[in-house]
Amino acid sequence: MEHVQCNLCGADDTVVLYPCTITENSASQGKRTLKDWSAFACTNAGYGKHHTIVRCQRCGLVYTNPRAECHDILGTYEEVEDNLYLEERAGRVLTFERHLKPLEHLTGPPGGRSLLDVGCHIGIFVEIAQNHGWDAWGVEPSRWAVEQARQRGLHVVEGTVETACLPEGTFDVVTLWDVIEHLTDPRGTLESVHRLLRPGGLLVIHTIDIESRFARLLGSRWPWLMEMHIYYFSRRTLRRMVEDCGFTVLSDAPQGRYLRLGYLSNRVGALVPWIGRPAEWVVTRLGLRGRAVSVNLGDLFTAYARKE
């Protein structure tokens, strides 16, 4: 475990917001084995299990501190395999199809322009963008996810934006869908993204909002308080960091996602068993597990910014 300073303002002046809920006997407290990656899988249901979460008293950024060392976290993501993510592909396709529309409203028709999806996992958004005419690429640390993407003929590079040796100043759009909260150095990643984008290029970030009404209402019971989440931005703190890295924020607003009823009831069951398990039984009995529904509780938002 390492102690870190605020990634937004550099201060070392924090107050504990939520105490650690991971027991000392948990493998999370020590070095992970190669197969001990489950808490970092996209579909992990470890709601409420997290290390100490603090708030910077200078700028208000919320983050985990102390946390595992950077190389241990990256090494864990390299080992992640997530077959449940494959099963939920249909819901994610609907979500990303919807996410692409406002992006193209800002950029206009793709016309062969280039797009990079950071933390693309198995490449669903890369594939959708490619099908819409983008020269779409992805970068992803999970070796398993990269192999899944390449089997579908997608251009996905193994690694991170800092290690993948991507050409600078060549991308028209860079997206981070549910990624920035997992990064050990979000400011450093945004600075790297700034170098990768052409002048006037578009940055798109989708993440959780710890200052949303839903998050404030639930407090310590907010489900997104999880071990794999390191930074908990609000629209205010993300806007400041993006602007500090040389971007002009165009907009930021809540944006939900599509989930299949089977997956949704399973997630609710992990959080509130006495509701989720009966709901999953009913959904299964009625043959509705595959039906996708739109979910927007206001605690997820998308920010659009342009490179100055």
What is the pLDDT confidence band of residue 24, given thresholds at 50, 70 and 90?
A: low
CATH fold label, 14-307: Rossmann fold (3.40.50)
Phi–psi pair at 14, nearest 5 degrees: -125, 165
Q: Encode pLDDT of 214-250 as tens digits.
A: 999 999 999 999 999 999 999 999 999 999 999 999 9
At 38 the pLDDT is 85
pTM: 0.91
Give 277: exposed, middle or buried? Use CB within 10 Å, 0-12, 13-18, 19+. middle
- The residue ranges of every structural domain in the chain are 14-307
Do residues 80 and 40 touch, judged by C-beta distance below 8 A? Answer: yes
Kindly state the average pLDDT of the residues 201-222: 96
Taken in order 125, 127, 129, 131, the sign of the CA dihedral is: negative
Evaluate if residue 33 carries a pLDDT over 90.
no
Q: Encode pLDDT of 129-145 as tens digits.
A: 999 999 999 999 999 99
Q: Encode pLDDT of 256-295 as tens digits.
A: 877 777 767 776 776 677 677 787 778 787 787 777 778 7
Percentage of the residues of the chain whose pLDDT score is greater than 90: 72
Q: Encode pLDDT of 101-121 as tens digits.
A: 999 999 998 888 999 999 999
Which residue type, as a one-letter code, is found at position 223? P
Q: How far apart are CA 146 and CA 126, in angstroms?
A: 12
At 274 the pLDDT is 67
Among residues 268, 264, 178, 183, the alpha carbon closest in space to that of 223 is found at 268
What is the pLDDT confidence band of residue 34, given thresholds at 50, 70 and 90?
A: very low
CA-only gyration radius of the chain, Å? 19
